[in-house]
């Protein structure tokens, strides 16, 4: 796979950040951890990863802005470009020794998401996509699942933890889908789940109450793999509302219909 200069920059940044995460993942017993609310952990590893990503991307593309999980919004001199960064998506998995977490980086240009990278350091799964150039998993082209029927489909759905609230609405969401599909999964990392939709491992995904850094890279992956992505009402406000529905054309349409009825 021949990567563009932009993709080389993004991949180099996530690999460098991922190297530190992989080292810390192997030394969990020595990892210092603070908390920011029940069930929502922030580790030293998380902050180190974000710092590495910011430094690497600033050096390669000076002036670009940032939207980051830990440091918030940083306006750049170049107002037409900004990075959406999640330095460690799946922190709770990470801290429990479960190898389902990722570094997620996306580039937004003039309000349009144009490139995304999701990398799991534990498994060395690298998912990349650039607008108009396709999506790839470890240099192999990805396509979304070909399953057309909900009853044959495996669907990813968010499960809210104690500190986030919205439990009644979350249970209603799951109930609206669970009885129609072969199975519902929550991996614990929305970036990984969207990458799995892009690669066909999941047939679809529906989740709410997320942030732009959770979703941005995965949106590019799914669309470049031939999939459909929208908010829960079929619109384009995913980054603003934190709602997302994704899948191939048929499953995406069926998931939207399930939520409309609910």
Q: Please state the domain extents for the chain.
A: 5-141, 150-261
Q: Of 176 and 231, which is predicted with more confidence?
A: 231
Q: Tell me, what's the pLDDT at 2?
A: 79
Two structure tokens written together for 65: 């802005």
Please give the structure tokens belonging to residue 181.
């599909």
Categorize the per-residue pLDDT at 163 as very low, low, confident or very high, splitting at 50, 70 and 90: low
Give the contacts of 131 (CB within 8 A, at least 6 positions apart).
112, 113, 114, 115, 220, 223, 224
In CATH terms, the fold of domain 5-141 is Fructose-1,6-Bisphosphatase; Chain A, domain 1 (3.30.540)
Reported pTM: 0.93
Round the average pLDDT of the chain to a whole number and report it: 92
CATH of 150-261, one of 3.40.640.10, 3.60.20.10, 3.40.190.80, 3.30.360.10: 3.40.190.80
Question: Residue range 93-114: average pLDDT?
Answer: 95
What's the rounded mean pLDDT across residues 136-165? 90
Task: Tell me the percentage of the chain whose pLDDT exceeds 70.
Answer: 92
Q: Output the pLDDT for position 37.
A: 56
The percent of residues above 90 in pLDDT, for the chain, comes to: 77
> pLDDT (tens digit, 9 = 90+) per residue, 12-62?
999 999 999 999 888 876 666 766 654 455 678 899 999 999 999 999 999
Region 158-178: mean pLDDT is: 75
Residues 6+ apart with CB under 8 A from 5: none
Dig out the tokens for 29 from the structure: 């017993």
Comparing CA positions, the residue from 98, 147, 116, 130 lying closest to residue 249 is 147
Residue with the larger pLDDT of the pair 252 and 177? 252
């Amino acid at each position: 796979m021949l990567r563009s200069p932009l993709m080389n920059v993004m991949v180099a940044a996530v690999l460098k950040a991922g190297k530190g995460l992989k080292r810390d993942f192997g030394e969990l017993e020595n990892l210092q951890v603070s908390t920011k609310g029940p069930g929502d952990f922030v580790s030293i590893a998380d902050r180190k990863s974000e710092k590495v990503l910011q430094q690497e991307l600033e050096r390669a593309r000076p002036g670009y802005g940032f939207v980051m999980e830990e440091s918030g919004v940083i306006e750049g001199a170049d107002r037409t470009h900004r990075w959406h960064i999640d330095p460690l998506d799946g922190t709770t998995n990470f801290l429990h020794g479960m190898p389902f977490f990722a570094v997620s980086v996306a580039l937004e240009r003039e309000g349009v998401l144009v490139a995304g990278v999701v990398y799991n350091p534990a498994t060395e799964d690298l998912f990349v996509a650039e607008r108009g150039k396709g999506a790839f998993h470890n240099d192999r082209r990805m396509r979304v699942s070909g399953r057309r029927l909900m009853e044959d489909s495996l669907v990813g759905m968010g499960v809210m933890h104690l500190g986030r609230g919205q439990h009644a609405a979350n249970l209603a969401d799951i109930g609206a889908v669970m009885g129609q599909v072969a199975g519902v999964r929550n991996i614990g990392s929305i970036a990984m789940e969207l990458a799995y939709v892009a690669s066909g491992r999941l047939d679809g995904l529906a989740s709410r109450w997320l942030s732009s850094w959770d979703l941005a890279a995965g949106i590019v992956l799914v669309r470049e793999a031939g999939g459909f992505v929208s908010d829960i009402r079929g619109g384009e406000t995913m980054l603003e509302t934190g709602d997302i529905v994704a899948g191939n054309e048929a499953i995406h349409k069926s998931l939207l219909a399930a939520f409309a009825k609910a």
